[in-house]
Structure 1
Amino acid sequence: MKTLLVPYYEHPAEQPNAWDALVAAAPRLYGVVLNPASGPGEAPDAAFAAAALRLREAGVRVLGYADTDYARRPHAEVVRDLLRHRDWYGADGAFLDQVSADPGALPHYRRLAVAARAAGSASLVLNHGVHPDPGYAALADLLVTFEGPWDAYRTLDVPAWTEGHPPEHFCHLVYGAPPGARASAAVHCVVPGTGAHPWGTLPYPLEPAR
C-alpha cells in the first residue's frame, strides 16, 4: 500500500544513499516532494533532475514544491514554480506549502488548483499543517492536516467533518518522533529530525545504512 509521502529536502549529490533508499521503497511511496531551493530554484539542477527521473521510472509521484505563504504569495509566482518543476524535473504533481486554512482564502486556492491541473499536476497536495475549513477538501487529492512535532501530535484532535471523506484523503507529517512512532493518517511521514530542518531526515523504515 502506498502510504508514505516523503518531503526529503537534501541534495541528491550530497546524500545519494538516501535517494537510493527512496527509489528502493517505491512500492510504499505515495510520493516524494521535490524541493531543490525552497521551490524549483532559478535554474535546473541536474542532480535533482536525475533523481526525479529515477523516481518516476520506479512509479513514484514526483511532487513539485511551491510555497504559497498563506495566500500572500502572488498567484503568478506560484504557477511559475509549478511550471518550472514540470519543465525542469518532469514533476507530475504539486505540493503547495503554507496553505491557508481560512475559508476566506478558498477562492485564491481554487484558482491555484485549476492552474496546477492545467500545468500538468495529476496529483495536488495542499499542506495546511492543521485541519482547514472543510471547503478545501474538494480542491486537492490530499490535504496535510498536521505538520509538527511528535509531542503535539500525541494530542491531535480530529474534527468530525473529516469522517465524510476517505482516510486516504488526509496526511500527517510528524517530526521529532522516537523510534517506532506511528501516525494515524492513511498517508503520513514520521521522521526523527528536529529543529529548523527536520525534513533532512527520512522516515524510520527508509533510513539508509550508514
Structure 2
Amino acid sequence: MPHLTSTAVGTASTDIRLGFGVPGYAHPLLAPLEWGELTRPGTPLHWVVLNVADGPGTRPDPHCLAAAGRLRNAGIRVLGHLDVRYGARTFAELISDAHRYLDWYRVDGFFLDRCPTDRTALPEVSRTATTLRAFLGEGHIVLGHGSHPHPGYAEAADQLVTFSGPWSEYRWSQVAEWTADHPADRFCHFVHSVPRGHLEEALRIARWQGASTIYFTDRTDRGGRVDPWETMPGYWDEIVSRLGTGVSE
C-alpha cells in the first residue's frame, strides 16, 4: 500500500497510542450532545478547539463559557481558535484575539488554523507562536497546516497538523521523511469521510505515519459546502472504544 512505502518511519511506530484532537464542534447551542460527550470519563482526549465566532467573538458567550468550563474542570485542554488565513492576518489581529480568549475563556493554548507551510512565512509564524507561549506559560500551541510544512515549523509549536482532508486522499498519503526525526506526539491527522468499514485501516495509517493525535469522522464536506468537523462521527462510541482509555500527555 502506498502509505507503507516510506522507510523513514519504522515498525516501532505501529505501537503508538492514539488520542483525539477535536478540531472544533459547532456552537454549544447547536451541538449540545457533541460538547456533552467530550466530558464522558475515559474518552482519550488530547485537546478540544473552541471556536466561538470564527475566533473569540466580540463579547463573552455564556454558552461557550459554560462548555469551556466543563472541559477544563474535567482536566481537558481547551485551545482557542485563531485563523491565520495562510498569513493574511496581521500579528496584531491574532494577538488581540488571543487576549480575548485568555481573558474570557481561560484557554490552555491555541490552534492556529490555516497556517502557512512555506519557509518564507516561518519567521512570522514563529514570532506569533513565541508571543502566545509567553502569555500562556505552560500552554499548548498547535499549527493547523493541513499538509506537511517546511520542517522548521516543528520547532515553532508543540504539534503540527500534517494532514487534514478526505479519506480518499488519506488512504494513499505518504508521510514526509523529515517527520521521522520527531516523536509521534508532535503530529496530528484530521480525516473526514472515513467509512465505518475503513476505520481500522485509517487508524493503522496514523500509527504507521507517526501521528498520535487524530480525529476521524464519517461526516463529509459535501464538496466543500459544509464543515465536516462540526458534528460528532456516527461511530463515535466505536472509535472511542478502539482507542481505549489510556492517554499519554
- Measured against the shorter chain, the TM-score band is over 0.9
Paired residue for 1:108?
A: 124
RMSD: 1.6
Query: Residue 67 of structure 1 aligns with which residue?
Result: 83
How far the C-alpha of 1:206 sits from its partner, in A, is: 4.7
Where does 1:66-145 land on structure 2 (aligned, <5 Å)?
66-120=82-136, 122-145=139-162
Q: Does 1:48 align with 2:78?
A: no
Identity %: 45
Q: After TM superposition, which residue ranges in structure 1, 4 or more long, deviate above 4 angstroms?
A: none
Distance 1:160 1:58 in 2: 37
Counterpart secondary structure, 2:75: coil
TM-score, with length taken from structure 2 = 0.79
Q: Distance in 1 between matches of 2:42 and 2:166?
A: 26
Residue 179 of structure 1 deviates from its aligned partner by 1.3
Alpha-carbon distance in 2 for matches of 1:175, 1:83: 31
Following superposition, the deviation at residue 118 of structure 1 comes to: 2.0
Name whichever of 121-130 and 16-25 sits farther off.
16-25
Q: Secondary structure at the residue paired with 1:157?
A: coil
Match of 1:163 in 2: 180
Q: Cα distance, 1:48 vs. partner?
A: 0.4
Superposed CA offset, 1:68-94 (max 9, x none): 011111011111111111111111110
Change (3 A) 1:62 1:26: farther
TM-score for both structures, normalised by structure 1: 0.93
Contact 1:5 1:187 survives alignment (8 Å): yes
- Bigger mean CA deviation after superposition, 83-92 or 195-204: 195-204
- Mean CA deviation greater in 163-172 or 26-35: 26-35
- Cα contact 1:177–1:191 (8 A) shared by 2: yes
- In structure 2, the CA distance between the partners of 1:44 and 1:131, relative to structure 1 (3 Å rule), is same
CA separation in 2, counterparts of 1:28 and 1:133?
29
* Partner SS for 2:133: helix
Higher relative contact order (CA 8 A, sep 6+): 2
Could you list the runs of 5+ residues in structure 1 that have no partner in the other structure? Answer: none
Query: Pick from 30, 34, 44: which aligns with 1:28?
Result: 44
Contact conserved, 2:25 with 2:35, CA < 8 A, in 1? no
Q: Which has the larger radius of gyration?
A: 2
Structure 2 residue 213 is the aligned partner of structure 1 residue 197: no
Q: Could you tell me which amino acid in structure 2 is paired with residue 156 of structure 1?
A: S
Give distance in 2, aligned partners of 1:157 and 1:2.
Answer: 19
